[in-house]
Amino acid sequence: MIFSIVIYSAPYTTQSASTALHFSKTLIGEGHKIYRLFFYSDGVHNASSLTIAPQDEKSLQAEWDTLIKVNKLDSVVCVSSALKRGVLSNEEAQRQGLTGHSLRDSSEISGLGQFIDAYIHSDRVISFG
Amino acid sequence: MDSLRFDTEGYLKDLDAWNENVALEIAKQENIQLTPAHWEIIKLTRSFYARHQLSPATRALVSLIKRELGPKKGRSVYLMKLFSGTPAKIVSKVSGLPKPDNCI
Amino acid sequence: MTKPKKMFTFISRQAPYGKDRARLCLDAALAATVFEQKVNYVFSDDGVYQLLKQQNGGSIGSKTLGSALEALDLYGIEDVFVNEASLRQRNLNSEHLLIKTIPVTNIQLANLILKSDYVINL
Amino acid sequence: MTTLHTISKGPSSKLLESCLSIARENDALLFIEDGVYYSSELASESSIPKHQLLFTLEEDIIARGLQHSILNKFETINYRKFVELCTFHEKVINWF
């Protein structure tokens, strides 16, 4: 079956990003397809590259990154959520004249159209927040 | 274009700085010669923003024009003829409003 | 041949301003209208507080959500429902509301969800 | 045609009440994250109806030390079964 996953919450603040990650891994393990990961609202922090986890805790951002790359997933952060929260791609940062960037290269910035498109092209959309 | 006043896409940074001369300036950048037909739309768009705090998507703009100016003008082709291919973006830009949120 | 329209139903259950959920729900629904799909909008639970008149987000440096809701019809979202039980529990009736809404019972809501292809529950 | 509802917050959230007001009798309910307290006899209030298919997520139960207090009417499931439930029911509505 074709799934899309929407993540509304930042890692660590609530459990839901971790649940979403676990669920996504299981989906793939069970042979299902993920059409898109969509990070909305505080969920965009899951795609941040400027994070450091303590040695004895998991880095959710790194785990997402690996999952996306290994399985070649389409991963989108909502543009209006991301820019407001400082999750910027290199391209976007340059356009705005900012010196740093903070979006992992496994995700791309796009609009809410991609959110609606995910519903239209998936058998199931599962939301975590 | 002056990067202090406009962002990289040509949208006005300080929305309060808008006036008719600024609109003429932005329109020139977009290769649009503003006519009374354009001003009519700009006025409506700005009143929409003042009321709803949203930069209208094309669909909303078309319904608004239809309601206020009649069905002959209330069509997306009419808007496209005046403001080129992606009218919602251009109209918002010329009208001194933020870029519409739902652009894809 | 054009594809048959799919039905989206957005259920907005949170009060405005305190959290971003109400705004997220609205923004997503407006995005759905671009795809020329059927879009229903439902206010339920604390979401009915979004419909109160005389909101002014400016006093807390925020946009006024109610003003944006007044544009729903211009975006082609005409089927706007309100959970009448949620209204009743909060001592509200249609006179308190900013826009015209269709009152629905829980059973009608359950049926609407059943008919919908996609349900976004925020 | 049935729906799977996931509930991911504990009793103080009133999420279950909202869910039950529009869930249908043959829908399934799955409790995850803090929602698993609903499936425990340690929950102070339990308004769980008898006629629903009720599931609760094992990993979240173990994390919270609830493994010996799960009410009989709940089936404890793992993530694989969570995925399977999502495919079995035509619709999934997440309450969070």
The three-class DSSP label of residue A79 is helix
| Cβ of residue C19 closer than 8 Å to a chain A Cβ | no
Cross-chain Cβ contact C31/A125 below 8 Å = no
Lateral strand order in the sheet of C118-121? C102-104, C79-83, C38-43, C7-12, C118-121
Q: Which residues of C touch D93 (CB under 8 A)?
A: 113, 119, 121
Q: In angstroms, what separates the C-alpha of C13 from chain D's closest C-alpha?
A: 9
Mean pLDDT of D27-52: 85
- Per-residue pLDDT band at A66 (split at 50, 70, 90): very high
Number of structural domains chain D divides into: 1
Which of the residues of B are catalytic?
103
Residues 6+ apart with CB under 8 A from D21: C83, C85, C106, C109
Residue D94 confidence (pLDDT) above 50: yes
Positive/negative CA dihedral, A27, C21, C104, C5: negative
Determine what percent of chain D falls in helix, strand and coil, rounding each to the nearest 5: 35, 25, 40
Number of structural domains chain C divides into: 1
The three-class DSSP label of residue A89 is coil
Percent of chain A with pLDDT over 70: 100
Instruction: Name the residue among C83, C109, C121 with its Cβ closest to that of D95.
Output: C121
Cross-chain Cβ contact C30/B101 below 8 Å = yes
CATH of the domain at D42: 3.40.1260.10
pLDDT for the residue numbered D54: 96
Element (H, E) at C17: none
Cβ proximity of B11 and B99 under 8 Å: yes
Element (H, E) at A12: none
pLDDT for the residue numbered B1: 66
Q: Which residues of B touch C27 (CB under 8 A)?
A: 101-102
Longest dimension (CA), chain C: 50
Within-domain flag for C71: yes
In DSSP terms, A6 is beta-bridged to A38, A127
* C115: nearest CA partner in chain D: D1
**What is the number of other CB atoms lying within 10 angstroms of the CB of residue A99?**
6
One-letter identity of residue D83: V
Cβ proximity of A21 and A63 under 8 Å: yes
Q: Vertex A90, ends A89 and A93: CA angle to 5°?
A: 85
Report yes or no on chains D and B touching (3+ CB pairs under 8 A): no
In DSSP terms, D4 is beta-bridged to D28, D92
Chain C from 87 to 106: CB within 8 A of any A CB: none
Mean pLDDT of D17-44: 93
What the block records as the tokens of A69 is 């790359």
pLDDT per position as a tens digit, B87-96: 999 999 999 9
Residue B9 confidence (pLDDT) above 50: yes
| Cβ of residue A23 closer than 8 Å to a chain D Cβ | yes
Residue C70's domain comprises 7-121
| Cα A17 from Cα A30, distance rounded (Å) | 20
Report the half-sphere exposure of B38 (CA within 13 A, side-chain side).
22
Which of the residues of A are catalytic?
78
* C109: nearest CA partner in chain D: D22
pLDDT for the residue numbered D77: 98
Within-domain flag for C1: no
pLDDT for the residue numbered D43: 81
Lateral strand order in the sheet of A75-78? A108-110, A75-78, A33-39, A2-7, A124-128
Residues 6+ apart with CB under 8 A from A105: A49
| Cα A116 from Cα A35, distance rounded (Å) | 12
Residue C83 confidence (pLDDT) above 90: yes
pLDDT per position as a tens digit, C25-71: 999 999 999 999 999 999 999 999 999 999 999 999 999 999 999 99
| Cα B67 from Cα B64, distance rounded (Å) | 5
Residue D41's domain comprises 3-95
pLDDT per position as a tens digit, C10-23: 999 999 999 999 99
Residue A4 CA to chain centroid, in angstroms?
11
One-letter identity of residue A97: G
**Residue A27 backbone phi and psi in degrees, to 5:** -55, -50
Given a contact as 3+ CB pairs under 8 Å, which chains touch B?
Answer: A, C
- Domain limits of chain A? 2-128
Longest dimension (CA), chain A: 44
Quote the mean pLDDT of chain D: 93
Residue A93 confidence (pLDDT) above 80: yes
Residue C112 confidence (pLDDT) above 80: yes
Question: Hey, what CATH class is A2-128 in?
Answer: alpha beta
Element (H, E) at B55: none
pLDDT for the residue numbered B104: 46
Please state, in angstroms and as integers, the Cα–Cα distance from residue D79 to each residue in A31, A102, B54, D28, following that order. 14, 31, 42, 16
pLDDT for the residue numbered C1: 53
| Cα B1 from Cα B6, distance rounded (Å) | 7
Indicate the pairing of strand D3-7 with strand C7-12: unpaired
Per-residue b/e over C10-25, b at no fewer than 16 CB within 10 Å?
A: bbbbbbbbeebbbbbb
| Cα D10 from Cα D39, distance rounded (Å) | 10
Question: Would you call A29 exposed, middle or buried from its count of C-beta atoms within 10 A (0-12, 13-18, 19+)?
Answer: exposed
Q: Which residues of B touch A80 (CB under 8 A)?
A: 101
Residue B3 confidence (pLDDT) above 60: yes
Q: In angstroms, what separates the C-alpha of D96 from chain A's closest C-alpha?
A: 6
| Cα D33 from Cα D56, distance rounded (Å) | 9
Within-domain flag for C2: no
